[in-house]
Chains A and B, each alone.
Chain A
Amino acid sequence: MAKVNMVQAINMALREEMERDKDVIVLGEDVGKDGGVFRITEGLLENFGHERVIDTPLAESGIVGAAIGMAAFGLKPVAEIQFMGFIYPALDQLFSHASRIRSRSRGRYTCPMVVRTPYGAGIKAPELHSESTEALFCHIPGLKVVVPSTPYTAKGLLISSIRDPDPVIFLESTRLYRLIKDDVPEGEYTIPLGKARIVQEGKDVTVIAWGSMLHRAIQVSEGFDAEVIDLMTLSPFDEEAVFNSVKKTGRVVIVHEAPKRCGFSAELSAFIAEDAILYLKAPIIRVAGYDVVIPLPKLEDYYMPTVERIRRGIEEVMKY
């Protein structure tokens, strides 16, 4: 089994799914000849040709809108938006259409598509190249939101996302792309959407994270008897896994890179408060990005939750 990074794992998933199903089409800006700005789609053009690996004009709303039409017609488009900060022109297409086609047509038309986009800070990039606005998409019924944290889960989750009958927003942490390597088997395996992963079991505190923040959460948790949950799918999230863990530990720390206000931790906290408050021994602590415009590289290390901030969060709940 090969040790590969997340870029290679995602590339494997795309390649294998395209080999398996000729309805899978990749489209986006620079995804063909250039292999994508992060080289995620490298080699696909050579393997599958211009008909299936489509370099589109520079038009995010057009890319997502066209993917909707392709999906309704029976294809399985995987659209790439070059950075999450550039997805905003396509929000109209995602919110007004992709999420609603099944409902609007009462099941006659569906929208089995994936929109992949790199997200997050930490790679010293220009403005709007460091966004993590996953909660925007989690608010919209009809969309699914998936955030892998490792090469192994990225491959399995992307295969599931491509095969899913509904539109999936697939967020890839730019910082993780080449940071870690995993044993990733060749050939298909899937990781179901809507299920979380218990990364390590523990008794005293539940630490919930996803994507880029998971690894910092794991690092800090080593000093505690902590149960670490990798949420993987944010929408719809695994309520059962969160509930069971909170019931066991009675303490919760949620970590994410996005600004705290209305971040996805707000939904998780509200769920825990509604369904599991009587099991809590301490207030829920959220360690998140600040409620500011995500800064340029000189300040990004101050913006993102650090290992130290996560540690303080866990220490805080452990006082109770």
Chain B
Amino acid sequence: MLFASYGFIAFIAVMLAAYYLTPARWQWITLLVGSYVFYAFAGLECFVFILFTTVSAYIISRLIEREIKKENDYVAANRDTISKEERKAYRARAKKKRFHILLWGLFLNFGVLAVLKYSAFAVSNVNSIIALFGAKTLSLPSLIVPMGISFYTFQTMGYLIDVYRAKVTPERNPAKLALFVSFFPQLVQGPISRFSELGAQLTAPHRFNAKTVSFGLQRVLWGYFKKLVIADRVVIAIKTMLDSPEEYRGAYVLLLILLYSIQIYADFTGGIDITVGVAEAMGIKLAENFDRPFSSKSTKEYWRRWHITMGSWFRDYIFMPISVTRPMMKLNKAMAGKFGRVAASKTVAYIATTVTWFVTGLWHGAAWNFIVWGLLNCLVIMISEALEPTYKKFHQRFPRLTESKAYSKFMSVRTFMLMGVIRSLDCYGNVGLTFALWGSMFTLGGLGELLSGGIFELGLAAKDFIIVLVAVLVVYAVSVASVKGSVRERLYGRPVLSACLFGALLIAVIMFGAYGVGYDASQFIYGDRFR
């Protein structure tokens, strides 16, 4: 069931009614049933995989819990009879044992994800090598990729790692864990929640509260505005250019980068608004996934503000563990003696950053363009890091310039453009072609043609561009206003103004939503990519 469909809106209405009509202590069961019904629309065969993740996570988490209890009981009973060194050695052995149990959970679940999502990519790469030797190539496997498998696998593995780290107490009721794995609003495109933040909320009773429900629905409406009025309109011009990319070079590439930045922002943040809004209407607060990312002044900052839950997942469960592994610590110490502490730490951090971004690229899609996309982001971050002392000197040398508003805007625009250029690897889907088209931008061929009317031959008329422009300005204005606090909260005390504004928003969605324009208007970019 797609978010941008009448079916989903009807489903939400039924879910909200059922949720608040259910006695408080059974509400979580309504949520679980609703989540499974929602998932059933994706195909019953997908159930096997989500159930596998749930059952395996339950068993592994309970086994780890048992080991932690054994360890703590032993230490408590022998605290006075064994030395500190013996105690530490015992804890290290116990941790290693539960790490092996955790590995089974990770291996099984990431294994399923790898086979379903990446085997065709792996086979096609093997085929490319085989073909060089003239041997017979292998046939590509055609496997189903269950809806939301990347999201629920990463979320559930985060839970398992937290149990292993003794950061959370494992859920003892398998049905409650099943709800954490399958909570329907976030199944399609995240956010990737932490059990410590979401687990208890899902099963807690929530009484009907008009303000909470109306705030949630307002956020849903805002999401549809971004998705239907902006994203699904600009995608028409993007699609035209991508259908024959060789024809749209030079200035058109720049236009595509700009339009795609607008589309992905409106599409992804709009989808998350719908997700967070639906949860909010049921009294459940999900983690925010965006914090005005396009105002970032550096790539590093951008990645702290875009797809926040994914970034923090990779930081906490990949970057940090790699950085402090024994081999890395040894490398750090060995290098510190020879080249100094800064160089040693930088080397370790750069290795961990490269691995993290390689995996981030792979997570975004089973294709080379995504891997190159990840590694380019990594390269920009590492270059910025290496140039940090130079920037510092520049800032000290020209304080009036670097502290001016104009310089700050320049940094934001620079970051926006840089991220936009790298992001266009998503669109073209072919690394060689993308590089060639980037090169064509410098000639700016086609600028005259574009400005003399070519822009209106991409499937969007002048009025479409005006609608997009006005809508983008509205989104920008709300984004700026939200810096000072919740816009909905400020409107809450002014019911007439609030009703007028949200009424206008609803009318805008109905009147200007890009419906029936001959393409699949309802699919979300991230939902599609992370099935």
Asked if A pairs with B, the answer is no
By a beta-carbon cutoff of 8 Å, the part of chain A in contact with chain B is none
